[in-house]
Amino acid sequence: MSNKQLEPLHIVIDFDSTFTQVEGLDELANIALQGNPKQKEIVSKIREITEKGMTGSYSFADSLRDRVALLSANRSHVDQLITFLKGKISDSFNRNKEFIQEHAEQILIVSSGFKDFIVPVVRELGIPADNVFANTFNYDAEGNITGYDHDNLLSKDRGKVSLLQSLQLEGEVYVIGDGYTDYELREAGLANKFFAFTENVSRKVVVEKADHVVPSLDEFLYINGLSRAQSYPKSRIKVLLLENVHPHAVQAFKKEGFQVELLKGALDEAELIEKIKDVSILGLRSKTNLTKKVLEHPNAARLMCVGAFCIGTNQIDLSECENRGIAVFNAPYSNTRSVVELSIGLMVMLTRNIFEKSTRMHAGVWDKSATNSYEIRGKKLGLVGYGNIGTQISVIAEALGMEVYFYDTVDKLALGNAKKCSSLKELLNLADFVSLHVDGRKVNSNIIGQQEFSWMKDNVIFLNLSRGHVVEIPALVEAIKSGKVWGAAIDVFPLEPKTNDEEFINELRGLPNVILTPHIGGSTEEAQANIGEFVPAKLLQFMNNGSTYGSVNFPELQLPPLENAHRLLHIHHNMPGILAQINNVFAKYQVNIIGQYLKTTEKTGYVITDVAKEYSEEIVNELKLIENTIKFRMLY
């Protein structure tokens, strides 16, 4: 697709907190004062003066003079600063390095900072030294900074204005910056537009004066129809993360430039409908239900993908998501080990009656007795469900000397010496320990009830770390009170509080030798960190690349990186002839196809086509109008 030509546009860019993420002079002070007992105090004072200068509440000339006076630095510190700043180039500038290199001659760096460290940094992205306008330090014979050139226009009040007046630029002039001195160029009539850059810092007084507020360089390029790394600025894409997902997830999306909102608790249906407005990426755990009612509401029209930060996806209407072209991803393995370890630990705790003895000890009762206290070695463990968690428990339990039996509706290969039972009744008849590890499908609702407890041995140990609705709680309560169940550990419940502030209400409270945990089977730092990295990685692959590998409801495609092409993504109902219609459109406009990929499910087709960058915009409208199209998007 052709882009707006840059010329005769001049782009004037500030350096500190715009081209780089930090203020150079502040960081120079921090480096130079290492080991100085007053480092924190002096650096804090310099930053305070910087901020006042940037907001226009302090004369710039005075600000520069006072900050340099507080410095005690030399060339070696400047060299260290240069190395530091090269690693602090703003993310969106690094992303759009190609644009900057191609149009370097039309880009001017106009800064009240210092050429000494600015030139080596901007040169990394191809901007020549002649296009950098900034102050310069004065040094003594030993390389110590003694001051700066007071004759330089940029050392004075309204220095940027004076500098641009002297340059007499022809054509359009756009200014990108974070400070009041950048806005002054617009105020003086020397710039056609001022773009307040907020990727690194946002100053209210500056934002209020701007023609446009741009949270990234991508946004600036998008507004002006210029070539860019992102087809659509990620700062415009909303991410909603619920149920206090791990900070790694928040960081992953923010690093990519997305607009992120994190909520600690779960949302009910009405609340989710309200919050999902304009959201493109939704992340949730097990307590929030993404229902058909939510998905069909107009507020959910922009939803593109969903991440379940847990193993199960029964809380998500997967079929409706597929109907609407919404890809869903989960973390099927990330918390497996955590659930396994807790399960084994709970077996030991229950068979030794540790919970009851600990409670008595806290009450001052010394109950040293071996009565009703047993080893788990040599006992029979019955696993209901032999998936990722069940198989790992099987291996570890066998290593501890237990006999392992399992029952699963799907034919599974037994690991080690584990034995498969032909029915649930057979398993329950022989097991000393029964541990549930089934998924959350509706067919598994109340699979353990009064009859199933009657099949179990007397004094059985019972665990449920799978889903709350798979056990009839009244039947479990009766089995515990009757002595059929000697001890129980329950981590999941049919009704769970949405937040930590709500009271947990359940009939199991107060029963002897019953360990109740608040759905924490997978809640370890390791597991949550793994999930916080795994799920965002899948969502970002889909958003950035179109890949759907690992999706639980979508045609799975693992795509190569996008290079020197535009990627057109077409999601449609799986009907005959759609691929032919897509290719007819390409043929009509003589589009050069670089690569094409297709995968279907019973209901949905997913066609990805990489094409040469130059093509008619009309092609996009025709692809969208193909009958049975669900969603269409482009990636640059």
Reported as a pLDDT band with limits 50, 70 and 90, residue 148 is very high
Nearest to 492 by CA among 458, 512, 520, 525: 520
Per-residue HEC secondary structure of 408-441 comes to CCCCCCCCCCCEECCCHHHHHHHCCEEEECCCCC
Q: What is the pLDDT of residue 184?
A: 95
Is 75 catalytic? The answer is no
Average pLDDT over residues 158-182: 95
Neighbours of 486 (CB within 10 A): 21
Q: What is the pLDDT of residue 449?
A: 97
Q: What is the pLDDT of residue 409?
A: 93
- List the catalytic residue out of 95, 186, 467, 572: 467
Chain segment 491-532, per-residue pLDDT in tens: 999 999 888 889 999 999 999 999 999 999 988 999 999 999
Q: What is the pLDDT of residue 58?
A: 77
Is 496 catalytic? The answer is yes
Neighbours of 122 (CB within 10 A): 27
Neighbours of 268 (CB within 10 A): 11
Please check whether residue 183 is in contact with residue 209, taking contact to mean a CB–CB distance below 8 angstroms: yes
589/585 Cα distance (integer angstroms): 7
Q: What is the pLDDT of residue 229?
A: 80
Is it the case that residue 295 has pLDDT exceeding 60?
yes
Reported as a pLDDT band with limits 50, 70 and 90, residue 43 is confident
At a CB cut-off of 8 Å and minimum separation 6, what does 91 contact? Answer: 21, 199, 216, 255, 257
Cα 541 versus chain centre, distance:
11
Mean pLDDT of the chain: 93
Is it the case that residue 6 has pLDDT exceeding 70?
no
H or E element that contains 477: helix 473-482
CA 276, 282, 286, 291 dihedral sign is positive
Q: Which residue has the higher pLDDT, 617 or 155?
A: 155
* Residue whose tokens read 């997305």: 258
Average pLDDT over residues 262-277: 96
H or E element that contains 381: strand 380-384
Chain segment 569-588, per-residue pLDDT in tens: 999 999 999 999 999 999 99
Chain segment 218-260, per-residue pLDDT in tens: 999 999 989 888 778 888 899 999 999 999 999 999 988 899 9
- List the catalytic residue out of 51, 398, 496, 533: 496
Reported as a pLDDT band with limits 50, 70 and 90, residue 2 is very low
Q: What is the pLDDT of residue 479?
A: 97
525/537 Cα distance (integer angstroms): 18
- List the catalytic residue out of 77, 437, 519, 567: 519
Q: What is the pLDDT of residue 5?
A: 53
Chain segment 320-361, per-residue pLDDT in tens: 999 999 999 999 888 899 999 999 999 999 999 998 899 899
Nearest to 224 by CA among 233, 492, 297: 233
Chain segment 212-224, per-residue pLDDT in tens: 999 999 999 999 9
H or E element that contains 95: helix 91-95
Is 103 catalytic? The answer is no
124/225 Cα distance (integer angstroms): 25
**Local structure of 553: helix, strand or coil:** coil
Q: What is the pLDDT of residue 477?
A: 97
Reported as a pLDDT band with limits 50, 70 and 90, residue 1 is very low
Chain segment 83-131, per-residue pLDDT in tens: 999 999 999 999 999 999 999 999 999 999 999 999 999 999 999 999 9
Single-letter residue type at 444:
N
Average pLDDT over residues 51-70: 82
Nearest to 543 by CA among 319, 361, 551, 310: 551
